[in-house]
Amino acid sequence: MGGTTSRIQDDVLPLSGPREKVSQILLKIWQYFHVHMYVPDDLTAVAWQRGLRRQFGRTQQFELINSGTEKFSTDFKVVNPTSN
């Protein structure tokens, strides 16, 4: 009986293959919403929102378009192609 119990536990407890992928995806979704939905105790709401915006901005692929005539010290237009 001892061998059967360990075999069943080995088949059920460790996740592998598609079950492991689903488990990892669900964990990442939970972590994302948990972090992005609740203000941490050590931050103000304003500081928390600022941090979320900075984090989002770092993950985006922005394009800079020189809208002036000079190469430096001119106006640039910032475009996010994924949101257009």
C-alpha dist (Å) from residue 61 to 64, 67, 75, 82 = 10, 19, 19, 8
pLDDT tens-digit series, residues 9-40: 444 445 567 778 888 888 887 777 776 777 88
Instruction: Enter the pTM of the model.
Output: 0.44
Q: Taking the CA atoms of 33, 35, 39 and 45 in sequence, report the sign of the dihedral they define.
A: negative
Burial class (CB in 10 A: 0-12, 13-18, 19+), 57: exposed
pLDDT higher at 22 or 47? 47
